[in-house]
Structure 1
């Protein structure tokens, strides 16, 4: 993890209890196995772990006191005492029903009604986790950069490419010059033309998608402001990102690949960016949005085809 990424998670105020699960889910893949055991323990049984001393949690997870403290700090807490307070708060929320327990994975023989209920819960939890963990300082800086940009170029492939298209068309509708790129060769060719007044955005859940990282690197080296929307803020993409917007992901299962759950959180971040830019540029954004509505309405009017 780079120093800049560490500052995102350790330089701000400790996350609220409800954000703890989101932090664990986002950061666990980048932790050592011993730290993962600590993180999984506190997320799985907040009430039980809140009652343990640092020594007790170390013994429970088969790790050391130093590992417990390092895990607490990586999750955004100054020390283990602060993590215990958050665990107690999360346990209280779960007992009151405000933070429901995680549901079971979708099974092959689940009735369709159960599939709907489980997917709805997971989608809801993914959105809540993303909102809780999203750094609003980073988001505000990204919005400011986009609002004043000469043009915005957005890079994403596969499912993330669909999200890139969504952001591009949203920005276009409020009068901003924006393009989405999923072809890696065209993306790099485009990135070469970017300069200081431009913004480049990379969307990659894994944080390690080479076809997305490369154009962001080129844009970064040519002076553009760069933004990464990723579920892995410690991934390679962060090396070339001025601003990092972290997404959360629901539990991946055999019938629900990462692409499905990551898309949900990416779309929330995209909507936050769009609304923020629209607010900052309201005097021009509102007329542009109205004009796009009118143009589309006219296109689909029965009289338009005559």
Structure 2
């Protein structure tokens, strides 16, 4: 009977769409939990992904000075049936597989000495390429269409981004401007407060927050909602506070490297979402030909500012 139950559970896990890809999103969310034990477990797993392949549940519990019951409860919080399913999900994750392949990279026989940074270069490119692949499975197509529709209807767009998310918000501002969408970007809490207070109901707010925990972004979107404004957020944590004050949520991929906490992969995913939005806007624009003409004029003006060689 136990064997049948186990096989049934394995089929259930295998049938779950994107479980390997989504496991890192869930781990990152758990790492921010108010429960310190759960948060410590999540951080350890994120930073020691390779070790879990050879760690039994008892070994993991002993290493972190917790009980096996605690580890099992942690797995249930992640939406998994047990510890074996956690290891299965991690093994299926493309990011983990890519990292393992690059770590074990060896030069071809007779190819000569490999530069010591060759593995680093390959790892960075592979991990960030993986972020793009994850993004395709995380972004909701209906949410993406809703965002495009909201941008087309909005009379004005206010973009918000702080810290590492600020460059993404500024990139979106530049791209929206090229598409003829009236927009402004805020990365200062004081000017953001002024803009939020003065916003009209037909203003669209677009917030970028990887963690979903940035207080200024959460408070601004909350205030915008009370003024009747539509709100879009790009975040890596679907259960974070910022998603509770947004009308449309677009999920970006989390970091794929256990070494760098704010790696390029996260920004790559966020920028990819901005690109999706802008391409969709251009394709669905009612005056598409006029838009192409304006883009050509814009490029011509920018060309004048470049040094001739």
Q: Do these two structures clear the TM 0.5 threshold for a shared fold by scoring above it?
A: yes
2:242 counterpart residue number: 237
Count of equivalent residues:
271
Q: Distance in 1 between matches of 2:209 and 2:93?
A: 32
Taking the aligned partners of 1:21 and 1:219, their CA distance within structure 2 comes to 32
Alpha-carbon deviation of 1:226?
0.9
Cα distance, 1:120 vs structure 2: 0.8
- Is the counterpart of residue 263 in structure 1 residue 267 in structure 2? yes
Structure 1: segments with no counterpart, 5+ residues: 1-12, 50-55, 105-109
TM-superposed deviation, 1:154:
0.3
Kindly state the Cα deviation for residue 17 of structure 1 after the two structures are TM-superposed. 4.1
Distance of 1:257 and 1:66 partners within structure 2: 26
Q: Which runs of 5+ in 2 are unaligned?
A: 1-14, 104-114
2:31 aligns to what?
29
Work out which of the residue numbers 117, 120, 125 in structure 1 matches 2:122: 117
1:48 Cα shift?
A: 7.6
1:277 to 253, 276, 281: 281
Q: TM-score, normalised by structure 2?
A: 0.69
Matches within 5 A, 1:1-306: 14-31=16-33, 32=35, 35=38, 37=41, 40=45, 44=50, 61=61, 63=67, 68=72, 71-72=75-76, 74-75=77-78, 80=81, 91=91, 99-102=97-100, 111-247=116-252, 248-253=254-259, 256-258=260-262, 260-279=264-283, 281-300=284-303
- 2:20–2:92 Cα contact (<8 Å) kept: no
- Secondary structure (helix, strand or coil) at the match of 2:287 reads helix
Q: Rg: which structure is higher? A: 2
TM-superposed deviation, 1:132: 2.5
8 Å CA contact retained: 1:175, 1:285: no
In structure 2, what is the Cα distance between the partners aligned to 1:177 and 1:199?
Answer: 10
| CA shift digits 1:71-122 (9 cap, x unpaired) | 45x54x5x628x978975875787xx99434455xxxxx8333332121122
Offset of 1:166 from its aligned partner? 0.9
CA–CA separation in structure 2 for the residues paired with 1:84 and 1:139: 34
Measured against aligned partners, the alpha-carbon deviations of 1:205-240 in whole angstroms (never above 9, x if no partner) come to 222223333322221221111122122333332332
CA pair 294-16 structure 1, distance change in 2 beyond 3 A: same
